[in-house]
Amino acid sequence: MTADSSDVFLEFDRVQKSYDQQTLVVRNFNLSVARGEFVTLLGPSGSGKSTVLMMLAGFESLTSGDIRLQGRSIARTAPYDRDIGMVFQNYALFPHMSIAENLAYPLKIRKQPKDEIARKVREYLELVELGNFGNRTPAQLSGGQRQRVALARALIFAPRLVLMDEPLGALDKKLREQMQLEITRLHKQLGFTVIYVTHDQSEALTMSNRIAVFNAGVVQQCDAPETLYETPCNGFVADFIGENNFLPGELVALEGDVALVRISSGDVVRTRKADADKVGMRCNVSVRPEKLFLMPSDHPFDTTFSARFANKLYVGDFIRYFFALPDGTELVVKVLNDLAAPDYAEGQEVTLAAATRDCSAFAPHRPQEAD
């Protein structure tokens, strides 16, 4: 979990946190972040991601380890001396101040000249497309507008680092997607470094350069969004990132990086080995609903198995087909809603197919729900 060593901007070095001197809520956390990078800490409730952010901000102390910013330890530096901007879910705007006064506040406490403060307030109001809203109060703005003000206030004093703690959690779906684009635009335009916390997988996949997936205080995998989605390292990451089918089976052979797994239909499917690597072990074959295909007998794929059709659900732009294996395992196939979408009778046996690279063999895990 490292950035290029020549451009390490922020570094977590074996960071641990315990509140009772017994249970570690963050365990041996190591991460290097490059200047200008957008790194998201993603995980279910209680996984340790927000605790890491609070330690970085200085609101929580470290039990052990170190945090270095531009090569200097900040583990014992007061929060107000860390030169870090923060954006919270609840906006944290001063309700008695105008929008312009809210933006001016971090500049005033840094004793910047009045004319410079006025110039920067105008500049950042325009930057977040609120140029005519300076005289309004937070109560006179929509949720999306208030969050843009909070973002501008976190950026206006040019901090070395910007932390965002579930900043879009209070917004509805449409506003949340608009703000994702807004934050991404500002990040590209201004080049600031971001540590972002969320439990929303789609948000993390959309916005991040890299994502660190937490579970029980431990980072399971830290990679680019496409790598996490296409080649998760274990069953937890596969289950937590996006939607997945898990087909129980037994690993019957290994051929290099390919695992052959017999599932309950009796079919032997070819999969990426992932973390299941011992012949005879019980394992789960994961394959995403959009990577499964409803195929006739002359299909071109190298991984196939049979299942019985149970039901289908119309979702508009696509159709969700539900199938069952002999052991009762349910699985889903997503098919575009077009003229080629087939009809099946309940209980009809269907051949499903996938590419070996899109299937993974994982050691069993217990799925966990996100907050």
Classify each residue of 57-66 as buried b or exposed e, where b means 16 or more C-beta atoms within 10 Å of its C-beta. bbebebeebe
DSSP 243-259: --EEEEEEEEEEETTEE
CATH code of 42's domain: 3.40.50.300
Residue 367 lies in a domain: no
Q: What is the pTM of this model?
A: 0.88
For residue 324, the tally of other CB atoms under 10 A from its CB is 17
Together in a domain, 251 and 274: yes
Distance CA 143, CA 365 (A): 39
Cβ atoms 245, 292 nearer than 8 A = yes
Q: How many domains does the chain have?
A: 2
Residue 194 lies in a domain: yes
Distance CA 238, CA 228 (A): 8
Domain that holds residue 326: 245-362
Residue 369 lies in a domain: no
Together in a domain, 43 and 165: yes
Together in a domain, 46 and 127: yes
Domain boundary among 230, 259, 278: 230
Considering only CA atoms, give the Rg of the chain.
24
Low-confidence ranges of the chain (pLDDT < 50): 367-371
Question: Per residue in 198-232, pLDDT tens?
Answer: 988 999 999 999 999 999 999 999 999 999 999 99
Burial group, residue 120, by CB count within 10 angstroms (0-12, 13-18, 19+): buried
Together in a domain, 68 and 110: yes
Question: Per residue in 12-48, pLDDT tens?
Answer: 999 999 998 888 999 999 999 999 999 999 999 889 9
Alpha helices in the chain (DSSP H): 49-57, 99-108, 114-127, 143-155, 173-190, 201-207, 225-230, 235-240
Give the residue among 245, 247, 240, 246 at the shortest CA–CA distance from 216: 240
Together in a domain, 208 and 250: no
Strands 282-287 and 245-255: antiparallel
Together in a domain, 192 and 317: no
Please list the residues that pair with 85 across neighbouring strands: 162
Together in a domain, 164 and 272: no
- At residue 370, the pLDDT reads 34
Q: What are phi and psi of 128, to 5 degrees?
A: -100, 20
Together in a domain, 167 and 23: yes
Distance CA 307, CA 325 (A): 5
CATH code of 313's domain: 2.40.50.100
Together in a domain, 199 and 281: no
- At residue 21, the pLDDT reads 83
